[in-house]
Every structure is written in C-alpha cells, then in structure tokens.
Amino acid sequence: MRAGTDVRPDAADVRPRGFRARLASETRGAHEATERDFVAIEADPAAALPDFLAASRLAMRALSAARDGRPVDEEADILDRLVDALEHDCRSSGQAPLPDLPCPEPLDTLAVGYLVLGSRLGTEVLSRRTRAAGIALPRSFTISMPKGTWRAFCARLDGIDPDGPCADRIVSDARRGFDLHRAAAARVRSQTKDRRP
C-alpha cells in the first residue's frame, strides 16, 4: 500500500492482510537473496544445470530431514518425489553426492511446504528456459503440482492468525529454509572451485 498525503498511515505501519501476505512480505529479503545465489541457471542453463541440481538436492534433503510434522494434503508426497528425482538427476549428470547439510532445529511443516510448493512455481519458468536452450528437462523439473494446489495451500495459510505464535514460527522457519538453500549453493560453489585445475 502506498502512503497517501493526508490520513493514510505510512506503509511501514501497515501489516498486509492475511497470513500468506505477511509470510511473503517478511521472507522477501531471504527469498531474493536465495534467487541471487541461483541466478546462474537463468543466464546459462547448460553450464549451470549440474550445480543447480546438486544444490537443490542438498537443500531439499535438508528440508525433508528438518520437517516438524506431516506434510499437509496440498503438498502430499511432492517433496519425497522431488528428492528421489534430484538423486536421479545428480547421478545422471555425474555429480558425486555431497554430505548433507546440518539443520540444527526442526522446521514447521507449513514452512517446508511453502518452500517446496513455491519451488515448483519457479521451476515452471526454469523449464521453459531450459527447453529454449535445447536441453532435455531433468526429472526433477517434471515434478509438478496438481492444478489448484498452490491456491489451496495459500487458503490454508490464510486460515492462520497472522499475529499468533504459529505464524511467527512459520515466518522464522521459512527464512531458515531459504538459508538452507543458500548454504547448499555455497557448498556446491566451493566444491566446484576445488575441482578446478
């Protein structure tokens, strides 16, 4: 909301309506920082794809290990299938598996679901660019959500009190989930650098 010139409060004093809006707003910085760490895949899919898959494998395995609670119906087994697909993709591309990332505290299952389902939206864009570059899609890019899944998940989020402790935890845990993605990217970059002559 843009601040007005008379009676409207400043935007900084206005909390977005609904928990999903709060979650998106308060994790935007972490989300954008994570996207910057993975930007190479957009610029050059052919060169960046193996490292992208290796980092995604690390991050998704960490989210799966850290999840506190069962996946909600909208997410179902998407994360399990995604991890299996990433394992296949990394083997197929000759990527040696890296040690798993530590995650010191459990992550709320809805925070994990937010990251997992959100990643499927981002992969739709990457799939188009990968095809345009003439590259066969890795199996993990084909793990998609049934129609209406994201909308139903967002409705579930909006059923949570945006000012309550549950909301606070999901926001915090989603940020830590983004941190895991950046840690995964950093580990893969370090490994790649060590392999260079």
Q: What is the pLDDT along the chain (197 residues), one digit of tens a residue?
A: 333 333 333 444 455 579 999 999 999 999 999 999 988 888 888 889 999 999 999 999 999 999 999 999 999 999 999 999 999 999 998 887 889 998 778 999 999 999 999 999 989 889 998 998 899 999 999 999 999 999 999 999 999 999 999 999 999 999 999 999 999 999 998 887 655 44
Q: Contact at 8 Å (CB) between 188 and 58?
A: yes
Nearest to 181 by CA among 37, 26, 85: 37
Give CA–CA dist 169/184, Å, rounded: 22
**CATH superfamily membership of 18-23+40-190:** Heme oxygenase-like (1.20.910.10)
In this prediction the pTM is 0.87
The domain spans of the chain are: 18-23+40-190
Residue 98 CB-density burial (10 A; 0-12 exposed, 13-18 middle, 19+ buried): middle
